[in-house]
Amino acid sequence: MSDAIEVTREQALAYRIQAQGLDRSTAEAKDLDLWDLGLQDAPAGSARLSLAARLPGGLADVPDLTDARSWTSVWATRGAPIVLRHGDEARIAAALWPTDDADAIGRLAGNGQQFRKHGTDPIEAIRTTAKALRAAVKEPTTKGKVSEKISPKLPAELITWCKGCQAHHLGDQLMRLAGLPAGLRLVPDASPATLTPIAGWKGAPRKTAGLDALVLAYLHLHGPASAADVAAYLGNTQKPVKGAWPDGLAAVSVDGRKAWIPEDDVGRLEHPDRTDVVRLLPRSDPWLMSKDRDVIVPDKAAAKVLWPAIGWPSAVLAGTEVVAAWRTKATAKQLTLTVQPFTTLTKAVKDQIAAESIHVAQAKGFPEATITYDT
C-alpha cells in the first residue's frame, strides 16, 4: 500500500471516538451518525446506555426509544435487536436482503447448512417465511406464539428440530432474518420478545438495494476498516460487500494493517481531537462491535475477559483504551457495579467512572450505584 495514508492505532481509535459520538459533541440523539447502521439493543436497555455515553446530559438526554413515532425496534443486522429511526425500516430491509444463495446460507447459520444439505433455496425460504409471518401477525404476539402459529403451515424443509424445546418448529435465525422483510417490529421492553406489524409495509424486498450505503456507514463509524470487517459486522460474506464497495474511499495503513475510510473523514483521522473521555459502555455498544478486535483491545488477556464464549461483560473506555470490564448486580435496595481493571486506574479515571455510573444506575431504576473493584 505505497499510496496509503499511514496512521497509528491511537489515531484510528481517536477518530472513532469522534465519529461514534463518544466525545459528547452531538446535542441530540437524532443527530448521531450511529443511526445510519442502527443501534443494537441486546440485552434490552443497552441502546439507552449507549446513547447516555454519547449525549451531553447523559441519560437525561436520552429520548424515549419506545415512541414509535420516532424509533423502531426490529430484528436486523445479524438477526440482532436493533433500534432504527422511524422511516428507515424499508431501507435497512433492502440493504440487508441477501445478494445470492451463498450470502443467505452464511447469514442463516445452522438453518443455512440445513438448506444446503437438502437443496433448499435459502432466499426463497426467507421470502416464504416473511409472507407467513406477515399473514400471521395482526396484533402484538409473542415470538413463541408466532412460531406455533406458522410452523405447521410452512414447508417441511423450513422446519428444524430444537433441542431446547424438544420440538420441531421454525428455526430461530430464519425467523429473525424474515422478521423485518415481513414488516414486523419488536414491541419495546416486552418480554418475551413480541412482534407487531409495521403499518403500511409494502412487502419483502425483491432484491438487495443500498448495501453500499451500509458499507460506507460502517467505514465512517468503525473505520479505518477492511472488507472482512464490514462483512463480519453485517453478517455477509465478503463477496457482496466487495461488490458494493463504494467510491470515494481512501486507502489507509493502520500500523501496517490494510484498511479503508471515506475520503471526507481523512482530515479527522490524521488530526483527531483530544480523547480524554471516560465512558461506561454496554457490552453491545458500537465501540465494542467493531470487528477488528485486535485493534480495539490488543492485549489477549483483556480480550479473553471481554469476549468469552458466553456472557460478555460491559467495558470501561478511558481515552482510546478499554481499561476495564464491568458488570452489575441488583438487589431490592442496591445496585452494585463491579469493575475488573486491565491496568492500574488513576484516581481521576476512578472518579469519572463514579460519575458515569449514575447513568447506569438510573437506567436500571436506582438513584446510584455502589462501585467495587475486582483486583
Which pLDDT score, from 0 to 100, does residue 93 have? 99
Q: Record the pTM.
A: 0.96
Which pLDDT score, from 0 to 100, does residue 109 have? 85
Residue 60 lies in a domain: yes
> Within this chain, do residues 155 and 40 fall inside the same structural domain, yes or no?
yes
Which pLDDT score, from 0 to 100, does residue 298 have? 98
Domain boundary among 132, 167, 197: 197
Distance CA 320, CA 10 (A): 7
Distance CA 174, CA 168 (A): 14
CB contact at 8 A, 247 and 236 = no
Amino acid residing at 7? V
Residue 300 lies in a domain: yes
Give yes or no for residue 51 having a pLDDT over 70.
yes
Please write the tens of the pLDDT for every residue from 60-105. Answer: 999 999 999 999 999 999 999 999 999 999 999 999 999 999 999 9
> Within this chain, do residues 70 and 179 fall inside the same structural domain, yes or no?
yes
82, 117, 130, 359 from 142: Cα distances, Å: 18, 31, 16, 30
Which pLDDT score, from 0 to 100, does residue 336 have? 98
Please write the tens of the pLDDT for every residue from 162-196. Answer: 777 777 779 899 999 999 999 999 999 999 999 99
Which pLDDT score, from 0 to 100, does residue 372 have? 98
State percent of the chain over pLDDT 90.
90
Residue 368 lies in a domain: yes
Report how many domains make up the chain: 2
Residue 3 lies in a domain: no
Residue 353 lies in a domain: yes
Residue 202 lies in a domain: no
Domain boundary among 163, 197, 231: 197
Backbone angles phi, psi at 285, to 5 degrees: -60, 145
> Within this chain, do residues 191 and 282 fall inside the same structural domain, yes or no?
no
> Within this chain, do residues 287 and 192 fall inside the same structural domain, yes or no?
no
User: Long-range pairs for 129-132 at CB < 8 Å and ≥24 separation?
Assistant: 129/154, 129/158, 129/170, 129/174, 129/175, 129/178, 129/182, 130/178, 130/179, 130/181, 130/182, 130/204, 131/182, 131/204
Which pLDDT score, from 0 to 100, does residue 179 have? 98
Mean pLDDT confidence for 9-23: 98
Which pLDDT score, from 0 to 100, does residue 34 have? 98
Give yes or no for residue 1 having a pLDDT over 60.
no
> Within this chain, do residues 292 and 176 fall inside the same structural domain, yes or no?
no
Which pLDDT score, from 0 to 100, does residue 246 have? 97
* Grid coordinates of 315: 467495558
> Within this chain, do residues 32 and 136 fall inside the same structural domain, yes or no?
yes
CB contact at 8 A, 121 and 135 = no
> Within this chain, do residues 186 and 323 fall inside the same structural domain, yes or no?
no
Mean pLDDT confidence for 128-135: 97
> Within this chain, do residues 42 and 189 fall inside the same structural domain, yes or no?
yes
> Within this chain, do residues 56 and 180 fall inside the same structural domain, yes or no?
yes
> Within this chain, do residues 40 and 169 fall inside the same structural domain, yes or no?
yes
The sign one gets for the Cα dihedral 17, 21, 27, 31 is positive
Least confident of 111-120, 139-148, 315-324: 111-120
> Average per-residue pLDDT in the chain?
96
Please write the tens of the pLDDT for every residue from 190-229. Answer: 999 999 999 999 999 999 999 999 999 999 999 999 999 9
Domain boundary among 152, 169, 197: 197
> Within this chain, do residues 134 and 28 fall inside the same structural domain, yes or no?
yes
Residue 10 lies in a domain: no
Distance CA 266, CA 103 (A): 31
Residue 207 lies in a domain: no
Assign 3-class secondary structure to 220-253.
Answer: HHHCCECHHHHHHHHCCCHHHHHHCCCCCEEEEE
Residue numbers of the domain that contains 362: 278-373
> Within this chain, do residues 288 and 158 fall inside the same structural domain, yes or no?
no
Tell me which residue of 305, 327, 303, 295 sits closest to 314, measured CA to CA: 327
Please write the tens of the pLDDT for every residue from 220-257. Answer: 999 999 999 999 999 988 999 999 999 999 999 999 99
Mean pLDDT confidence for 48-62: 98
Which pLDDT score, from 0 to 100, does residue 168 have? 75
Please write the tens of the pLDDT for every residue from 275-310. Answer: 899 999 999 999 999 999 999 999 999 999 999 999
Q: What pLDDT band is residue 2 in, cutting at 50, 70 and 90?
A: low
Query: Which has more pLDDT, 365 or 162?
Result: 365
CB contact at 8 A, 280 and 53 = yes
